[in-house]
Amino acid sequence: MNRILFEKSEIVDGLATFGGERAEHVLSFLHGEVGQALKTGEVDGPIGTSVIERIDGRTVTVRVSHGEPSLAPWCDLVLAPPRPRAMKRLMPQLATLGAGRIFLVGAKKVEKDFWGATLLNESEYRPLFLAGLMQAGTTAMPVVETRRNFRKFVNEELDALFPGSHRVVAHPYGEGGPRQKSEMPRGRLLLAVGPEGGWTDEEVELLESKGFERISLGPRILKTETAVVGLLVMLGARNEKMV
């Protein structure tokens, strides 16, 4: 936890009072005491510092001073989701690595029972994203949308949602890694990653017809969560400063 984040509703008259995991981090790990400054931020808002004004048992009250902009997301995802347990492990990392909009799509090899998972409820995934943001020290909460009809989404919505984006599709039979930074098209990245069984040939061809460039992490078949993290780390190192 590199920055403690508050929901807007938690900050009242410049003060925020909190307990739970955040307070335990301040008291046990940071050895918090009155007068100590903490790195803090507001979800979907600015970052800054807060000074501890009061400690009541395992509850902390701070005076908030936020005014600096947080790093903005640099990429968006079209993601054919893995099983809920794997998706749950992946979500904090998506927030940490700078994902903005995440469209979960119903590709052919996505397990049908995924769409009934409780993980699709905002009350379930928001705390996972929040943990990832506090790790990264950023505040922009990813936005999740679902589209069960992959073909309809790509044909009818994608261009309007992501105009001018630099588009890449992960595929183990692609042309190798992404281009060098000096050769990368400018614009926010849109990354498409398939399900555990991979995209079908028809799905890859449809994405390519919409301007997606195939990239690969090599010949090994990776789990979705491994592939997404690996791609975002690799692409982020080259793209983020260009957006």
Helices (H), the chain: 20-24, 84-96, 122-136, 150-156, 158-161, 201-209, 224-239
Q: Which two tokens stand for residue 169?
A: 């599709």
What predicted TM-score, i.e. pTM, was given to this entire model? 0.90
| Over residues 61-79, mean pLDDT | 97
Architecture in CATH of 75-242: 3-Layer(aba) Sandwich (3.40)
Looking at the chain, the domain(s) classified CATH 3.40.1280.10 span: 75-242
End-to-end CA distance of the chain: 26
Cα 149 from Cα 142, distance rounded (Å) = 22
Mean confidence (pLDDT) of the chain: 91
Cβ count near 86 (within 10 Å):
15
> Is the pLDDT reported for residue 156 higher than 60?
yes
Confidence check: pLDDT of 109 > 60? yes
**Sheet hosting strand 213-215, strand order edge to edge:** 143-147, 99-105, 75-79, 189-193, 166-170, 213-215
Residues 158-207 have pLDDT tens digits of 999 999 899 999 987 655 444 444 444 456 899 999 988 789 999 999 99
Model confidence at 237, pLDDT cuts 50, 70, 90, reads low
* CA separation for the pair 42, 58 (Å, rounded): 21
* Tokens matching residue 134: 């506090």
Which amino acid, one-letter code, is at 210? K
Of 48-62, 71-85, 142-156, 159-173, least confident by mean pLDDT is 159-173
CA separation for the pair 222, 220 (Å, rounded): 6
Which residue intervals of the chain bear CATH 2.40.240.20? 4-68
Tally of CB atoms within 10 A around 88? 16
In this prediction, residue 105 carries a pLDDT of: 96
- Segment 39-50 mean pLDDT: 98
Please report, to the nearest 10 degrees, the dihedral formed by the alpha carbons of residues 151, 153, 155, 156 taken in order.
140
43 CB-near residues (< 8 Å, 6+ apart): 5, 6, 7, 8, 130, 133, 139, 141
Query: Which CATH number is associated with domain 4-68?
Result: 2.40.240.20
Which residue in this structure is represented by tokens 């995934």? 125
